[in-house]
Every structure is written in C-alpha cells, then in structure tokens.
C-alpha cells in the first residue's frame, strides 16, 4: 500500500494534480476521471436511500451557523466569502494599484456569507420551523470549506473539499436505524472497491473548553462513527462519518415531529477526495489497476478521459 505522500508526489510529477493556492487543488487526466467516477458512485449509494437530491446554496448565513452553535464548536475552521465595497473610489484604488491583488485582499468588506463547513446545515436551515411528517431524507453533494492551517494536505485535508451527505430527520429509533444502515452500506462499498476499511467510534475536534464535554458525550454514547482506512505510517484516513445528533438540531432549528417533539437528525457524510486517495493508496496510481465503478462509467460517458 502506498503512503499518501507517495501518491501525491507521483500525481504532481505527472501534472495531474496541482495547487492554485494552499489547500486548493486542481485535477486533470485519469485523476480527474477517477474523481468524477467516485462522485457518481457515492451519489448512486445515496440514491439507494433517497431520490430527494437537493442543489445546495454555495454559502450559509452566519445566523444559521449561530443557531447551530457552530462558533462554540469549530470557529477554527470558519471560512467566509467577502467582496469589495462597491463604491467607485475604493474600486479605483484597487484598479490603479501596482499590486492590486494585495490591496484587494486587504480591502474586503465584512464577509456576507460563510462558506459551508458541511452540507447538512443547509438542510436544517431550509426546514427551520416546520413539522416533519413521519421523516425526511435527502442528499446533496457540495464543496465544503474548513481551514485547518498547517494540517492541510492534498486530497486528504483540503481547505476546500467535496462532501456527499445523506441527511435524515425523524423519530429517534428511525434516525439511529438510518445511521446504522449507512455504516453497513458504506462498509460494503469500501469492500467492493477493495479498500481495507474499519469502523471506529469517533468524536469531533470541538474547540471551546465548554464544548469539549460534547466530544466525551459523543464517545460515551457512540453517536459518531467513522469509516477508516489505515495508512502504513500509522495514521488513518476517515473516508466517511456517521453522526447521530439526537434532538440537537431539531431543537435548535425548531423542527418538530407530528407529536410536537423535536425531530431527531443524523447524517452520513463522505469525503469524495478521500475516497479517491484511499483507492490510489490501495491500488496504485496506474489506472488499469483501479476498481471498475460500472454505474459511474455509464454516467460519465464511458469514463471521459479513462
């Protein structure tokens, strides 16, 4: 099995992977085709649960993240979209500068929207103050942003990355049942792709001391599992996570069941680029050795560049 850095080095040498800025990667050639196939395969997996696919907004209101208590938990990751003031004078100052990029990056207005740290915040915001009949299950794929500073590394931990999520809202029993089914199906998919993956209890890296208790509770109550691929250097790659939030988001966003009780929620989340990396670590960088993803090949017109 290759180490992540061996995979990355070879892809960069081949010109199939490059960084435009720290943590932001482009892909070409067989790597881009593999990424497209993985994206379609994960979409197909989600579709076995639900046909209700959404196209998410590209940014999240700060208010939504406040309601989700995001800033108490993960402020370290926050990334936001900001623009220049529209007034002619300040635009002219940028336009006439000898290093306009540098002037521009320091002249931004306060940010107008956060870039999504995860897909499911959109779901809770869209369903705010509604009553969920029986249950709601939806899926979406979206670019997510988490700034992890020096920990960033291509395909494994990008500043921006692609997340496929399936989100469930309903009663307590059905919610945990959905999560368990997600663990099974993701494990089966990993098996079918020849990945040696294992399921482990996990917790989120909460920031604030007050929130660190949440991490302990997560572990004690087994509310979060991850699907891990172990690397030969001893660290593990989490390629999917399975999260039961109990009544937390239902209460925060006032999403209720017909009984009037807050809805329970769970999400199953896949990191598209991490699945790509796991396949490359396991099977090597020669595309002839990659597993065949039949539905993907069909959907992408015989696999594009492959």
**Residues from 113 through 152 that contact a copy of itself (CB under 8 A):** 113-115, 122, 125-126, 138, 143, 145, 147, 149
- DSSP β-bridge partners for residue 103: none
In the region spanning residues 11 to 50, those forming contacts with a copy of itself, defined by CB under 8 A, are 18-22, 24-28, 32-33, 35-36, 44, 47
Take residue 138 and report the two structure tokens written for it.
């939806």
Residue 198 CB, shortest distance to a copy of itself, in Å, is: 29
Binder among 112, 192, 222, 294 for a copy of itself (CB under 8 A): 112
Beta-carbon contacts of residue 222 (< 8 Å; ≥ 6 apart): 201
Measured between alpha carbons, how far is 134 from 259 in angstroms, rounded to an integer?
Answer: 10
Minimum CB separation of residue 80 from a copy of itself in Å reads 6
> Which of 300, 305, 283 lies closest to 40, judged by CA?
300
Q: Name which of residues 257 to 296 contact a copy of itself (CB under 8 A).
A: none
Residue 204 CB, nearest distance to a copy of itself (Å)?
A: 14
Which phi and psi angles does 114 have, rounded to 5°? Answer: -85, 150
Say how many residues touch a copy of itself, by CB under 8 A: 83
Q: Which stretch binds a copy of itself (CB under 8 A): 83-91, 196-204, 233-241, 252-260?
A: 83-91
Closest distance to a copy of itself from the beta carbon of 254 (Å): 17
> Which of residues 55 and 259 has its CB atom nearest to a copy of itself in the complex?
55
d(CA 284, CA 290): 8
* Interface mask toward a copy of itself for 195-224; x: CB under 8 A: ------------xx----------------
CB of 39 to a copy of itself, least distance (A): 9
Cβ proximity to a copy of itself, 262 vs 303, nearer residue:
303
- Footprint of a copy of itself on residues 219-248 (CB under 8 A)? none
Contact 274, 190 (CB under 8 A): no
Q: How far apart are CA 109 and CA 84, in angstroms?
A: 6
The residues in 147-176 that bind a copy of itself, with binding defined as CB under 8 A, are: 147, 149, 159-160
If you compute the radius of gyration of the chain from its CA atoms, what whole number of angstroms results?
21
Angstrom distances, CA of residue 284 to CA of 157, 161, 262, 291:
20, 22, 47, 11
At 296 the three-state DSSP class reads: helix
CA distance 281 to 8: 10
Residues 92-111, interacting with a copy of itself (CB under 8 A): 92, 94-97, 99-102, 104-106, 108, 110-111
121 vs 242, which CB is nearer to a copy of itself? 121
**Toward a copy of itself, which CB reaches closer, 84 or 199?**
84
Tokens of 86: 């529209």
Nearest approach in angstroms of CB 199 to a copy of itself is 27
Burial class (CB in 10 A: 0-12, 13-18, 19+), 71: middle
Interface pattern 43-82 for a copy of itself (x via CB under 8 A): -x--x---xxxxxxxxxxxxxxxx----xx--xxxxxxxx
**Least distance (Å) from a copy of itself to the CB of residue 124?**
11
- Identify the three-state secondary structure at position 100: helix
CA dihedral over 74, 229, 37, 293, signed as positive or negative: negative
Tell me whether residue 228 or residue 267 sits nearer to a copy of itself (CB atom): 267
């Amino acid at each position: 099995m290759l180490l992540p850095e061996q995979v990355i080095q070879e892809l960069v040498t081949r010109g199939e992977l490059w960084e435009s800025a720290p943590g932001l990667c482009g892909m070409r050639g067989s790597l881009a085709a593999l990424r497209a196939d993985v994206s379609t395969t994960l979409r197909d997996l989600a579709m076995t649960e639900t046909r209700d696919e959404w196209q998410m907004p590209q940014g999240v209101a700060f208010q939504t993240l406040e309601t989700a208590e995001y800033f108490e938990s993960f402020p370290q990751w926050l990334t936001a979209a900001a623009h220049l003031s529209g007034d002619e004078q300040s635009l002219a100052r940028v336009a006439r500068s000898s290093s306009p990029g540098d002037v521009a990056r320091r002249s931004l207005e306060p940010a107008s929207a956060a870039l999504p740290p995860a897909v499911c915040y959109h779901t809770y915001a869209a369903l705010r103050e509604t009553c969920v009949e029986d249950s709601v299950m939806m899926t979406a794929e979206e670019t997510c942003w988490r700034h992890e500073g020096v920990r960033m590394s291509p395909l494994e931990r990008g500043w921006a990355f692609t997340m496929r999520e399936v989100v469930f809202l309903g009663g307590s029993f059905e919610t945990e049942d959905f999560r368990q089914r997600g663990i099974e199906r993701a494990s089966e998919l990993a098996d079918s792709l020849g990945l040696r993956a294992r399921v482990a209890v996990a917790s989120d890296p909460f920031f604030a001391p007050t929130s660190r208790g949440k991490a302990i509770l997560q572990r004690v109550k087994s509310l979060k599992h991850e699907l891990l691929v172990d690397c030969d250097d001893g660290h593990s790659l989490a390629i999917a996570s399975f999260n039961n939030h109990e009544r937390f988001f239902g209460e925060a966003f006032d999403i209720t069941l017909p009984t009037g009780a807050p809805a329970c929620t769970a999400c199953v989340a896949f990191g598209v680029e991490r699945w790509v990396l796991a396949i490359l670590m396991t099977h090597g960088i020669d595309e002839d050795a990659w597993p065949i993803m039949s539905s993907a090949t069909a959907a992408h017109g015989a696999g594009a560049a492959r």
